[in-house]
Structure 1
Amino acid sequence: MTEKLPDDLRILLVDDEANILRSLQRILRKEPYDLVMAGSGQAAIEVLENQRIDLVISDARMPGVDGPTLLSTIRRRWPWVIRILLTGHADMNSTIKAINDGQIYRYIAKPWDDDELRLTIRQALAFQYSERRRLALERKFRKQNKQLRALAESLEKKVDARTTELQETADMLDRTLAELRNSYVTTTEVFSSLLNQRLPGDLQTNAKVSALVRAFAQRQDLDSEQTRNLEMAAALYNLGKLSWSDDMLRAPSDQLTKDQTALYRAYPTAGEQLLMTLEPLQETAHLIRHHQERWNGRGFPDELEGEAIPMGARILRMAVDFIELQAGLILSRKVSREDAIKLLRRQSGRLYQPELCEAFAVMCEESAPDLAPTEEGVIALPTRELTAGMVLARDLHAASGMLLLNEGKRLTKSLIDKLIAFEKGEPEGTRYTLFVYDPEEPEEPLMEASIQ
């Protein structure tokens, strides 16, 4: 045997003849087994009920409970016990019954060979030990497999929970970033309104330029980030003019002196430099720097040509020129809206990208002069007809050009009361019209409003 058996194996010998039991005991006395004797089948059952037995050798013919009946009982009640039948040549029917009902390991015919008997017992016990180890390993495997499944389920739940937590964190960061970006847009609009305080109402261009680029960005299907950067650039494009004198601010660019022209050509870079320290406004600053470049490469400050000019800067240039032509800030005379569109088309291919210029001109022809929102669900109301919960669809500026409320703000009752009071304090005849989303239309969640 290659595998060492346990030291506490116990064999039950069953026979109604004492001399047979003694003979078996003699044969097995040197084997490492504990031997237990029983003189009948019933006595054997009582032993099994009170002791652990590993193997039973039973004679076939016994009064009362015979061998096959005993072994069949043992199979049902103690199935792990190895069963061997001792039988004579005339006991074939008993042997068959033991094989069928008792499912014996082996039968040994009388008279037996001592060595063969000992070998049979060793093989039977080795088989039993091997089966017990196999079953134990199976139980251990099933237990470990169950534990692994439970662990896997636990880990999966933890991963799901952690994934949900991370997704919620990511969503929160996205919302925070969106709010931060919106706050930068609002800040630029407020700052732009402060710039306008140095100019009379008819020369305040930022809000009109912003409305133009926003409308054109929608037509060109620019993504939200490009649109946001372009809107902020439109609100701050003349930031570099802060150092100009009041007279120069009001003068058309074609009437400037040589020194003033040099200052004029520096205002895009001056505006960029003022924004360079603000990380979220880097792209905005880049657009401001290049919004006076020309499609033919003869603009300033870097003489960029064609598509080397950022797309946002190309759009901003057209919007600025279109508004400033009408305000009298480019030519010595104010240009009508229709003539401004013609002048833009005339400079197509020289100052502006041809396809972009034509699309922009078509939009200006099709839009109302103030570019009021015309999308579905937007209505125009005076201050006294506003109700709490309405959401602004367009920035609201005071007559002085100062930004009062920015697009996307939700109106409250106290805010509406403030607007009405503010309107009363304006020069006589001043009335404000607000463009708001129809309250019957579904609204997206927006920030609560506060007057600037």
Structure 2
Amino acid sequence: MSEQHSATLLLVDDEENILNSLRRILRHEPYQILTASDGDQALQQLSQQPIDLVISDARMPGMDGATLLARIHQRWPDCLRILLTGHTDIGATIKAINQGQIYRYIGKPWDDDELRLVIRQALAFQHSERERERLERLTHEQNQNLQELNATLEQRVRDRTSELQQTADMLDLAFAELKHSYMTATEVFSLLLNQRLPKDKQTNAQVIALVRAYADYHKLDEGLSRDLSMAAALYNLGKLSWDDRLLNRPADALYREERQRYQLYPVVGENLLMTLEPLQDAALLIRHHQERWDGRGFPDHLKEREIPFGSRLIKLAVDFIELQCGLFLERHLNRDEALLLIKKYAGTLYDPQLCERFINLCTHMAPDLAMADTSIVPLDTRRLTPGMILARNLHAANGMLLLNEGKQLTRLLIDKLIAFEAAEDSHYTLFIHKPEVATTSQQEHVG
């Protein structure tokens, strides 16, 4: 129901028959009708309840209609005011217009239809004015809210951006911790793998150290470095089902059926890891780490750059370590022999460019990695001094043995090595016992 249909009207007249006549005219209209016989009574009713429209006679004893409507205008300006006036009440009409600011005046005798129409129009006008005022207040409130919002918007944007950045940082930290947890878990599991092998054939830690050293030195991206570490930790996972005899046999000494089983271990390792999404890339590196540069490896006979880079690097690290552990050939090679053999097969088994970088890493940049004795130091020929003892065999670039392990250097030998380097346009790194170790060895020899 609209405001017009629930309007309250107050009829004011000192003549009861006029009030009855007005009630009769409005009895079918949807208004609440109140009456008053004088101005004081009308003001009292206005003070007790809200009234939308007052129709007052002009001539009344005591307070006349113009005065009443003027007071109503002062106290209740939203209440509409209509004056009923006779032809001789021109002064009261003017007063009501000027002081009471009435909506309309209606002359007596009135036309019933006209009176009903005037009331409807007055209430419709009142309704539209109230709606306009409501909209103005709403607009004012919204403008104030908008001004406040604009005043604080920049700060709120900064605050929200800071919250989002903090959330993103927390997610990044959680993801980094998750990745670190996977890497830690793979290394712990690699220790379990080692329990199946004799101590001198436990290779995972050395392979991990080598691939990490390469990744750090060549600044490989974080994702590849992580996959390389996990693949290095679990590369021999597929060997878990082997019996102890097969585990301890060098790859070069396997029989035909054993070789067939051996060639499946990268695939078995991949299959065991593929259900773990964070390990799927590492699993692919494991699958292909026994492929050969010439395409004659296994399991898929990939060749050259068809082989994933990480698989090519892991093969170099695995072969280098396993050559020294007796897992590749029937005899154990020392570090230098292993590097010479790897260099010999560059372009056949190994990526030639990667092979060169790998050998350089092992001999010059990180000589103490993987099976290195901490009592041994690498030195170039210009840093050698007489009395130093060779800790490993020294081979020429063509593989020729130059000096045996245990050889004590003299000034003459050092000068010959320097001259040989110049003649061959090559560079040699000699592995020397640290002075205190060398002294002890000499004393034991003398004793």
Match of 2:301 in 1: 303
Verify the 8 A CA contact 1:68 1:101 in the aligned structure 2.
Answer: yes
Verify the 8 A CA contact 2:266 2:299 in the aligned structure 1.
Answer: no
**Cα 1:6–1:245, aligned 2, differ >3 Å: closer, same or farther?**
closer
**Cα 1:346–1:187, aligned 2, differ >3 Å: closer, same or farther?**
same
Q: What are the residue-to-residue correspondences of 1:285-304 with 2, within 5 Å?
A: 285-304=283-302
Does the residue aligned with 1:36 lie in a helix, a strand or coil?
A: strand
1:260 to 255, 258, 279: 255
| Mapped partners of 1:50, 1:4: distance in 2 | 19
Match of 1:121 in 2: 119
Verify the 8 A CA contact 2:250 2:329 in the aligned structure 1.
Answer: no
Q: What are the residue-to-residue correspondences of 1:288-437 with 2, within 5 Å?
A: 288-327=286-325, 330=328, 337=335, 340-341=338-339, 343-371=341-369
1:273 to 241, 265, 268: 268
Q: CA deviation at 1:83?
A: 0.7
| Mapped partners of 2:113, 2:266: distance in 1 | 110
Verify the 8 A CA contact 2:80 2:102 in the aligned structure 1.
Answer: yes
Name the Cα RMSD after superposition.
4.8
| Mapped partners of 2:170, 2:243: distance in 1 | 47
| Mapped partners of 2:369, 2:97: distance in 1 | 102
**Cα 1:71–1:300, aligned 2, differ >3 Å: closer, same or farther?**
same
Does the residue aligned with 1:195 lie in a helix, a strand or coil?
A: coil
Verify the 8 A CA contact 2:270 2:284 in the aligned structure 1.
Answer: no
Does the residue aligned with 2:25 lie in a helix, a strand or coil?
A: coil
1:231 to 208, 229, 244: 229
**Cα 1:211–1:107, aligned 2, differ >3 Å: closer, same or farther?**
same
The Cα offsets for residues 107-154 of structure 1, whole Å up to 9 and x where unpaired, read as 23566555433432343345556777x59998xx99xx9xxxxxxxxx
1:206 correspondence with 2:204 = yes
Verify the 8 A CA contact 1:56 1:81 in the aligned structure 2.
Answer: yes
Verify the 8 A CA contact 1:272 1:286 in the aligned structure 2.
Answer: no
Match of 1:26 in 2: 21
Q: What are the residue-to-residue correspondences of 1:146-295 with 2, within 5 Å?
A: 177-178=178-179, 181-182=182-183, 184-197=185-198, 201=200, 203-222=201-220, 226-238=224-236, 243=242, 249=248, 251=250, 253=252, 256=253, 260=255, 263-264=258-259, 266-270=261-265, 272-273=267-268, 276-277=271-272, 279-280=275-276, 284-295=282-293
Verify the 8 A CA contact 1:205 1:324 in the aligned structure 2.
Answer: yes
**Cα 1:370–1:130, aligned 2, differ >3 Å: closer, same or farther?**
same
Q: Unpaired runs of 5+ in structure 1?
A: 146-162, 373-379, 381-452
| Mapped partners of 2:217, 2:63: distance in 1 | 102
Verify the 8 A CA contact 1:238 1:267 in the aligned structure 2.
Answer: no
**Cα 1:127–1:249, aligned 2, differ >3 Å: closer, same or farther?**
same
Q: CA deviation at 1:45?
A: 1.5
Q: CA deviation at 1:76?
A: 4.0
| Mapped partners of 2:9, 2:100: distance in 1 | 20
Q: What are the residue-to-residue correspondences of 1:36-185 with 2, within 5 Å?
A: 36-39=35-38, 41-50=39-48, 53-60=51-58, 65-87=63-85, 95=93, 98-99=96-97, 101-109=99-107, 113=111, 115-128=113-126, 177-178=178-179, 181-182=182-183, 184-185=185-186
**Cα 1:237–1:23, aligned 2, differ >3 Å: closer, same or farther?**
closer
Q: Match for 1:359: what amino acid?
A: R
Match of 1:403 in 2: none
The Cα offsets for residues 351-396 of structure 1, whole Å up to 9 and x where unpaired, read as 2334433433333244332339xxxxxxx9xxxxxxxxxxxxxxxx
Does the residue aligned with 1:294 lie in a helix, a strand or coil?
A: coil
Q: What are the residue-to-residue correspondences of 1:441-452 with 2, within 5 Å?
A: none
Q: Match for 1:188: what amino acid?
A: F
| Mapped partners of 1:270, 1:169: distance in 2 | 40
Q: Match for 1:30: what amino acid?
A: I
TM-score (norm 2): 0.57
Q: Unpaired runs of 5+ in structure 2?
A: 143-163, 375-447
Verify the 8 A CA contact 2:66 2:95 in the aligned structure 1.
Answer: yes
Q: Match for 1:191: what amino acid?
A: L
| Mapped partners of 1:301, 1:14: distance in 2 | 113
**Cα 1:213–1:25, aligned 2, differ >3 Å: closer, same or farther?**
same
Match of 1:391 in 2: none
Match of 1:442 in 2: none
| Mapped partners of 1:171, 1:252: distance in 2 | 43
Q: Match for 1:38: what amino acid?
A: S
**Cα 1:313–1:93, aligned 2, differ >3 Å: closer, same or farther?**
farther
Q: Match for 2:262: what amino acid?
A: Y
Equivalent residue pairs, number: 335
Verify the 8 A CA contact 1:248 1:260 in the aligned structure 2.
Answer: no
Verify the 8 A CA contact 2:266 2:289 in the aligned structure 1.
Answer: no
| Mapped partners of 2:296, 2:348: distance in 1 | 9
Does the residue aligned with 2:248 lie in a helix, a strand or coil?
A: helix
**Cα 1:293–1:57, aligned 2, differ >3 Å: closer, same or farther?**
same
Q: Match for 2:182: what amino acid?
A: R
**Cα 1:100–1:338, aligned 2, differ >3 Å: closer, same or farther?**
farther
Q: Match for 2:104: what amino acid?
A: R
